Structure 1
């Protein structure tokens, strides 16, 4: 949809689309509340600030909507389609997929959350290297990284949702 349609669409129609970008009601409400936007830069600035203000519980909620790296999101939803495309760099190499699966398990045991990375444009090896490096983080450092990865994903998805 274009910005004019985004600005004029009923909020109940936009809520699911925005939740596919970042599944946190406060973020969705914050983006909707500032309509109409004069341009995409203004929309992005509001969305960016709103995601930066999410607390740890809201970030955890948003993570529940993301599949593990290397797992194919199922279904025909917009979010599932975006996830499959974003993770296209994982490829079909069974060894890399197994290493990612093992890393995901270690990460989840260590941090009690799914490993989140903005995978767009990354190769499987880059994702795996980041996963291995992030396993060395302390809890607070990793929470900051996760929040930043979520921010990047939300803004990329919003850009897919609203075009010029």
Structure 2
């Protein structure tokens, strides 16, 4: 696999600019980075980004800031701003409303969006920073916004040049029936480290072939994944074992395994197909291909 930095260096100018626009909306910033290719290392690229951010004139800084949604309101369908503002998850309605009001007051005073590097910041931290910065002069705020923009650009460039995130798929085979298990709901969660809390990413359900091909994308920093298979409804309709067979009959109380949870480690850039082989009184999982 060609390293991302090498692909960026070799990309056509339009392709490279498209990638850079995902990092920063400032056209002069992107033009400077494009002109500096090829880059020998990520550090060289980040240094060039810092220099390009520092060189932005007033209109260039305005253009770059305009590409960022307000804090507390990630752009719809934009996974980048949603990921960066993950600190808003779990914020109370009152705190969200306070952020909306502070954002409006800030934009009315300074004429541009409140810009802060939100990666790793909680909603309360962002609220407190916004309230404090409302007391600044316009000159102070533009200087701070430029610094925050530089931090954001560095984080986004680092992600852009990192190996792609891992991906996950699964299928469920009912080994007692000898056929795929259709309609089994599957929930996906991920976390960056063993001590981090799980983040619920969403889910899907197996199709007629027992496959689950459209699970949500994993965050870039994922190192562990959890799949939860809601097997109760499927197993509740499974034909009971033949009394002559040396196997227990289905219990009247319902499925013996109402759900199956599987957690496993992942490496960025790799795909993980993790099937579930299921029967009423046992299951197994493995890494497939």
**Scaled by the length of structure 2, what TM-score is found?**
0.54
Q: Residue 70 of structure 2: which of 68, 71, 78 is its match?
A: 68
1:35 matched to 2:34: no
Question: Per-residue displacement from partner, 1:26-64 (whole Å, max 9, x unpaired)?
Answer: 111111111111111111111111111101211111121
Q: Residue 22 of structure 2: which of 20, 23, 29 is its match?
A: 20
Correspondence 1:87-98 to 2 at 5 A:
87-92=85-90, 93-98=92-97
What residue is the counterpart of 1:81 in the other structure?
Answer: 79
RMSD: 1.2
Question: Per-residue displacement from partner, 1:73-124 (whole Å, max 9, x unpaired)?
Answer: 113xxxx211000001012421110010010011011111111111000000
Query: Aligned to 2:118, what secondary structure does the other structure show?
Result: coil
Correspondence 1:103-142 to 2 at 5 A:
103-142=102-141
Unaligned runs of 5+ in 1: none
Q: Which has the larger radius of gyration?
A: 2
Cα distance in 2 for residues equivalent to 1:73 and 1:81 = 8
**Which contiguous aligned blocks of 4+ residues in structure 1 show a shift greater than 6 angstroms?**
none
Relative to its length, the structure with more strand (as a share) is: 2
Relative to its length, the structure with more helix (as a share) is: 1
Q: How many residues align?
A: 160
Cα distance in 1 for residues equivalent to 2:118 and 2:54 = 19
Cα distance in 2 for residues equivalent to 1:43 and 1:126 = 30
Unaligned runs of 5+ in 2: 164-289
